[in-house]
Amino acid sequence: MMRRRGGALVVLVAGLLLLAACGSSSGAKGSTLGVDDFATLVATDGVVVLDVRTPAEFDSGHLAGAVNIDVEQPDFGTTIADLDTSATYAVYCRSGNRSSVATAAMKDAGFTHVQDLKGGITAWAQAGQPVVTG
């Protein structure tokens, strides 16, 4: 009985370590950035700012220069297939959940530089960063 528990503990610890590694935000293809680092990124020439919320959410307020591609639309995969996979993308949504899904899909599609805004536009606005409406 004791031997079985010890083995299960080893498997549990190994599994947790693997999950932590998979959830790391420091991967070569992309990462999750806080508001300050994301603001620096979006101010960089050539960076594509991608809002993955619905068009109605986008119209209610978005980052300046953002392109709107709704991650929840069935054609999201085909839409991003038309984008330059070697460009740098700054991706956000409302809270960070949908942008996480979008960045994972983009990485799977071969995008090499994808950054996600931690806390989404909610965190952005709370930090006093500018939001464009309309």
3-state SS of the chain is CHHHHHHHHHHHHHHHHHHHHHCCCECCCEEEECHHHHHHHHCCCCCEEEECCCHHHHHHCECCCCEECCCCCCCHHHHHHCCCCCCEEEEECCCCHHHHHHHHHHHHCCCCEEEEECCHHHHHHHCCCCCECC
Active site residues: 93
